[in-house]
Structure 1
Amino acid sequence: MSDNRRPRLDTPREARRTLVRRPAYDADAFGVFAESFARFMGTARFLIWMTLFVLFWVSWNTLAPDDLVFDEFPFIFLTLMLSLQASYAAPLILLAQNRQEQRDKVVAEQDRQANARAHADMEFLAREVASLRLSVGEVATRDFLRSELRGLVGDIEELTRGRSDDDHDGRTPA
């Protein structure tokens, strides 16, 4: 007797309905925001503004009359604000770094592919140059022809000088 209510292992489960929907957001827009935030936090301008803010906070809470002080306890609210800022800044900076790492991976893969294509092209060109050298090795070059022609001209000049010397001696060439 089989139990029809028992789930089968070879079929996927039905999607459960949830009472609370996850918020939808554009991952790219959020990533761009995280990168611009991380880029801003890494500037001297941010450090200067943050330093001025902390100096103002400390000096105001130290020098102002008791009724105008923001932070009644010794800078606990300032510590809380800085901790809150750090707790948001760290994940945003990590998100920006992850996006940069993904871009770097894509660029590295493109560089690897370009290097592989260049290597294949260089091997092809090396084979072509080698085949051209073999072909040219079997063909008479201009320098080779000139040297052979010079040698022949020299031989002809010697022969003509030798005949002219024979004509002066009164002998006839055979």
Structure 2
Amino acid sequence: MGWILLNVLMLSRAVDPYPFILLNLMLSCVAAIQAPVIMMSQNRQEEKDRLRSLNDYKTNLKSEIIIEDLHHKIDQLLANQARLEETLHRLEKRQSPAKPAEMTKPAAPGSV
């Protein structure tokens, strides 16, 4: 804007009169330089994103392996618990009829 105002106000002594050819040339050069710089910046960002996604993949894979291992351990614990409960149930059944009669009766107050 400043370039245009300066050249409009100078009228006859303007460095770059109305069609502003010099301004267009400078802006075209800036655009020509900016395009490759932007492309290089995008390529660098793409490489960083690729490395970040690879790291995320490795982390997710490791987490999945750990979770599968924990799931397997929980399954083993549940199976062991079920087996122990079954064993306890069988032992309780086996001991239930063998209890002496005096152990099943409540003690009379003052008999102790």
Q: Which interval holds the TM-score relative to the shorter structure?
A: 0.7 to 0.9
- Separation of aligned partners in 2, 1:74 and 1:160: 115
TM-score by structure 2 length?
A: 0.74
Greater fraction helix = 2
Within 1, Cα distance between the matches of 2:56 and 2:48?
12
Alignment length (residue pairs): 96
- For residue 2 of structure 2, the aligned residue among 56, 60, 65 is 56
Kindly report which structure 2 residues correspond to 1:56-75, keeping only aligned pairs within 5 A, or say none.
Answer: 56-67=2-13, 69-72=14-17, 74-75=19-20
State the Cα distance separating 1:66 from its structure 2 match: 1.6
Unaligned 5+ residue runs, structure 1? 1-54, 165-174
Higher relative contact order (CA 8 A, sep 6+): 1
Q: Which runs of 5+ in 2 are unaligned?
A: none
Which letter maps to 2:38? I
Given the alignment of the two structures, is residue 118 of structure 1 paired with residue 99 of structure 2, yes or no?
Answer: no
Cα-to-partner distance string for 1:82-128 (whole Å, 9 max, x where unaligned):
00000000000000000000100000011011111101111000000
Q: CA deviation at 1:138?
A: 2.2
Q: CA RMSD in A?
A: 2.6
Note if contact 2:11-2:17 (Cα within 8 Å) is conserved in structure 1.
no
TM-score (ref. length: structure 1) = 0.49
Rounded to whole Å, the distance in 2 between the matches of 1:87 and 1:104 is 26
